[in-house]
Amino acid sequence: MSSKVNKSIIFFVIMFLFMLSLFFIYLNNMSKEIYLLIIMVLFFINFILIFDKIIGIRKTILFALFCTLSFNIELSIFNYNSIYHTGGLRASITITHMYILILFLLFLYLFNKNSNPNKGSVKLEVLLFFLLFLTGGISLFVAVNKVATIYILNRYFFIMCLLIVLSKFKLNTIWNYFTFGVIVTIFFQFIVGVSQIITDGSIGLTMLGESNRPFRINVPESEKGMGGTLGHPGTLAIFLTLLFPFLLTQFINAEKIKIKVISIVALMIGFLSILLTNARTSIVLVVISTFVIVIGNYYIRNKHKMNVKKIKTYLLLILVLVTSGVIIMLDDIKERFLYSDFSFQIGGRTAISELGISVIFKNISNFLFGVGLNNYTDNTSKFGSDFLHTQPVHNLYLLFWAEGGMLYLLVYLLLLIIIIVKMIKVILKGSYNLATKALSVLVSLSIIIFYNFTGWSMFHNQLFFLFAIIVIISALVFHYYKKNIETLD
């Protein structure tokens, strides 16, 4: 693409961002956050101008997308009875910063005449997301709050666009910018979270997704945790946990000392951040996933007859650190897992799940078509105003079934199963580079599959877009394996 076209695009980006920012300020009358918003816009403009000269506009927008995965900047265009929508995602038609970045990438994609080296790599994945869109769209006919359903359908449309435009990039480009974006995200969320703990409240980043109450409520001070810009400690924790397999793989296989140092520092900061969220499930999952990644890399290296001394050292070091940590913090671990609100949480979530099952089996329509995407609480809140009736069922599989019906759930499960089968095949038969990347995807996806039984956080915007990124990485890994492409650059 010529420099003139590049400059035109940059000018278009700058003007659009300024106009959007002014429109956002005008609609929301956000006097408290105006200065922060202006600073962010100016920073983003400088970010584009600087990085455009270094890596080009397409990669700059790609990097910006990965760096802001943990944000949820939303502008509501149309609300309808949103005051009665007590829980779940928003009941409005919105524009988010992710949609804008995806549109920029789509715009660049349409004007880029270069051949696509990964043509057809995401056909199946796009089809499955289209089926989610289609089966979920059927529930629009039974939804009480149709605008709430359109909110989800709108997101599926942009995710399909995202899969298509990201398939234009080479695997290593996606991988490198994603892992660099992960590092930026971890440091940023740590700073935000610690600031929340120090100030004992929100630090004014609600426009990025921060909650006005970024801590757990009705729990002891030591268990409040921190929510970062993801709204809740549990949501932040699982978000960071899903990043760990990719960053750990980057650390293990990095050849440059600088990348190794940055990666290990980010891993330590990330683990500390997860500990500070006080999210039990994520703490256990990140420890288990760390062992699986290291042992998996040992297996893959051994299979390809590569040196495994470093892997043995890493494994021994992790064993020592985990064992020492458990011994030192044994009393705290007992308190958090046995004597706190652990049994209460299990009982509460069981009750919510039972309510979800009763919604599913209430009639044949609910069983087959659901009550409408993002409409669960619109139905249950009619029978009470307590937590049980105003919060989505804390099991994503039940929530998918209750809101979208049986076919909707089956499509989602099929997507998960297909990715698992593909990644196992690459791990067993692929080259070393592809196998280690497939292992990262497999471990991260396994975390998602397990976590879905314990909560509905994976349906939040930040986490669902992260899931979409994991899907595209898996698709490219399998495409390179199938085409027998050994050179990833």
* Local structure of 327: helix, strand or coil: helix
0.85 exceeded by pTM: yes
- pLDDT of amino acid 215: 80
Q: Which tens digits make up the pLDDT trace of 149-200? A: 999 999 999 999 999 999 989 999 999 999 999 999 999 999 999 999 998 8
- pLDDT of amino acid 81: 62
Residue pair 57/6 in contact (Cβ under 8 Å)? The answer is: yes
Domains of the chain by residue range: 56-487
Those residues with Cβ within 8 angstroms of residue 401's Cβ, 6 or more apart along the chain or in another chain: 360, 370, 408, 409
Residue pair 352/388 in contact (Cβ under 8 Å)? The answer is: yes
What tokens appear for 339 in the block?
Answer: 């004597």
- pLDDT of amino acid 200: 87
In a 13 Å sphere around the CA of 270, the CA atoms on its Cβ side amount to 26
Nearest CA to 477 among 443, 430, 445? Answer: 430
Helices 233-253 & 257-277 angle (0-180, nearest 10): 160
CA dihedral sign, ordered 57, 58, 61, 63: negative
Other CB atoms within a 10 A radius of the CB of residue 90 amount to 18
Burial tier of 386 (Cβ tally within 10 Å: 0-12, 13-18, 19+): exposed
- pLDDT of amino acid 48: 64
Those residues with Cβ within 8 angstroms of residue 392's Cβ, 6 or more apart along the chain or in another chain: 87, 88, 376, 377, 399, 456, 459
Angle in degrees, CA 91, 210, 25, rounded to 5? 70
- Measured distance CA(468)–CA(162) in Å, rounded: 8
- pLDDT of amino acid 29: 54
- pLDDT of amino acid 364: 96
Segments of the chain scoring below 50 in pLDDT: 1-2, 4-5, 32, 487
- pLDDT of amino acid 24: 58
- Measured distance CA(410)–CA(317) in Å, rounded: 42
Q: Which tens digits make up the pLDDT trace of 17-62? A: 555 655 555 555 555 455 555 556 666 666 666 666 666 778 888 9
- pLDDT of amino acid 324: 83
